[in-house]
Structures are given as C-alpha cells and as structure tokens.
Amino acid sequence: MSIPKDPVFDLSFKAQFLHPRYWLTWFSIALHVLLAWTPVFLRDQLAAAIAALLVRFAKKQCYIASTNLELCFPDLDAAGRKALLRDSLRIGAQTFLAFAEASFLPRQKFLARFDIEGWEHVAPLLEGDRPIIFMIPHSWSIDMAGLYMTGRGLSMCTMMHSAKNPVYDWFINRQRACFGGKVYERSVGIKPAIRALKEGRHFFYLPDQDHGADASVFVPFFGEPKATLPTLPKLAKLTNAWVVPMFASYNPGSGRYHLLYRPALEAYPGGDLLTDTRRMNEEIEIMLNPRREQYMWFLKYFQTRPDGGPDGFYEPGIRRIRQGLAP
C-alpha cells in the first residue's frame, strides 16, 4: 500500500467514536474540561492524593520505575528510591490532570503558564535557514513543551505511537496539532519527518525509548548499557539540522511549567555513530540529573539487554507481582 505524500494523523471525527463502549472515555474527557478550569492548587492537591493511591496499587509500574532508579542511581538507598518514585508519581498525576489545558484554555492563558530558560540559544537559530531538531526526553510535561512551541508560532512536526483507545488517540493528537503542528504515526517511518524538515519545519524528537536490538546500538545511560536508536545523528546529517537539547518540567511549588533549552550541539554529528549516540545520552543525563522526579521512570528503558534473552528484562519480576509475590 502506498503511503500518502504527507501522512499526518487523521484528525477527522468518526461516527464510531459515539459507540456506547466509548461513553466512559467521553466522560473522562468531560472531566478534563472541568479540570482545565479548576484552580491549579486544588487540582494539584487532588493529583497528590491520586499519586498516593498509585504507590499502593500500581505495583507493576512502580516495580519498573524502582528498577530503573536502582540501575541509574545506585547511590540511592531503598528509602531514597521510594521518595523519588513518590515525587515522580505526584508530578505525573499533576501534569495528567492538567493535560487538556491547551485544548480548553485560551491560547494566551495557556502560554502564560510557562517559565522559559535558555531561549537565547534558540532565537538566533530561528533567524537562519537550517531546521532545528529539539531533542527532548520523556518527562511528564513533554506534551506541554511541544504545544508551547507551536503556540508561539514555530512550525513543528513530531512522531508518536497510537493509543489503544481510538477516542483518546483522536483527542490527544487533535490537541497536539491544535496550534498547527504536524503529527505522524511512527509506523509510517521517518521519511515524512525528513521531508517536513527539508521543507522548513522543526522536529520534536523523543530519543530515549527502547525499540529493540535490531535498530539500536548499546551506549551507556547513567552508566548502564541501553539499547538506543542512533537516529538523531543520522537525521541531523541528512537534513543539516541543528540539534537543541531541551527539557520540560512541572514546578509543584509555583504550579507552572518550566522549559529548559540548552545550547545547540556543536560539530554534531561528528562522524562516529557510537560517539554521537552516546553524546545524545550524555545531554539527557545533564538535563535529567537535577530533575530526576520529572522523568517517566515507569517506561521500560532497559528492556533490551546486551546479553539478549527472549524474556525481556522486567518480565520475571512482573510475573512474580501477578502471582502475588515480591519481585
């Protein structure tokens, strides 16, 4: 089957979305409408209560997160990991309850929710004729970062995985594109994003998930070997794009988002794929280390191990949890 020239996510509303099986989904979206207008301090208190429940009941996700923390920060004892996990879940719940702000708040009210650090690294690049790849790891506020940039008028594109629930999938990607951004399904491949970069759009690139051994190289991430896609240096070379590392945070104290932009990577790519890919991970470490609680630690970042094995790194522990045993 041929791929359309610009296979962006289909944002059209479909009659099947009204099927009774999705009524609970629509109810949850209606709640998000209310939450978007709820005072931030009240919404954040509700999120903190939800996070406390997640620590008790989301055992699989907490096991994955705790395992990741133990691998990345061996200096932390069990109490330190538990405290960090609790803080991360709280911030995750706070950003989740605020997710629909971009859809239901006036644009200027939404954009006023951000504090920006390092924009001086970006502004001169926007005056040139080279595209920018904004390299951003999976923090809880990652969607808000992309919406801020398209809300400011930057011509952006990104790639994503489809959600299992088609109504949520439609709603989430409708919001991601609400200020003019282009969203591509990962299954169509990288070519549409390459075309968009060459046409002058900037790319919102998420570099840190584990996509298996076949397409990856193993480079350290906080000292642990991690299956990492070497796409960034290849993409930067192919499109002559700047690479700007950035990080999105939520500040529970101020109830505001914080976006950090670091200087564009100089002499990147440098020619050695492993070195260039490791440099990408080093940038993530620099941004993440002082903001550990902001990261989505429940993702299976180390699922693929260098010594192989068909079972997956986390699965033995997850099976024990399902059996009611300690992992």
Q: Give the global pTM.
A: 0.94
Q: What per-residue confidence (pLDDT) applies to 310?
A: 64
Helix, strand, coil percentages for the chain (3-state, nearest 5): 50, 15, 35
CA distances (Å), origin 325, targets 2, 59, 79, 297, 318:
49, 11, 21, 22, 9
**Can you tell me which residue has the tokens 């590392």?**
245
The two structure tokens encoding residue 289: 């280390």
Q: What per-residue confidence (pLDDT) applies to 327?
A: 82
Q: What per-residue confidence (pLDDT) applies to 324?
A: 84
Q: Is the bond leading into 269 cis (omega within 30 degrees of zero)? A: yes
**Residues in the chain with pLDDT < 70?**
1-5, 309-310
Collapse the DSSP code of 198 into the 3-class scheme (helix H, G, I; strand E, B; otherwise coil) and give the result.
Answer: helix
Q: What per-residue confidence (pLDDT) applies to 107?
A: 95
The two structure tokens encoding residue 161: 């995985």
State the Cα–Cα distance between residues 84 and 77, nearest whole angstrom.
11
Full strand arrangement of the beta sheet holding 182-185: 114-117, 256-261, 242-251, 132-135, 202-205, 156-160, 182-185
Residues 6+ apart with CB under 8 A from 210: 216, 226, 227, 299, 300, 301, 302, 303, 304
Q: What per-residue confidence (pLDDT) applies to 1?
A: 44
Q: What per-residue confidence (pLDDT) applies to 218?
A: 96
Q: What per-residue confidence (pLDDT) applies to 56?
A: 87
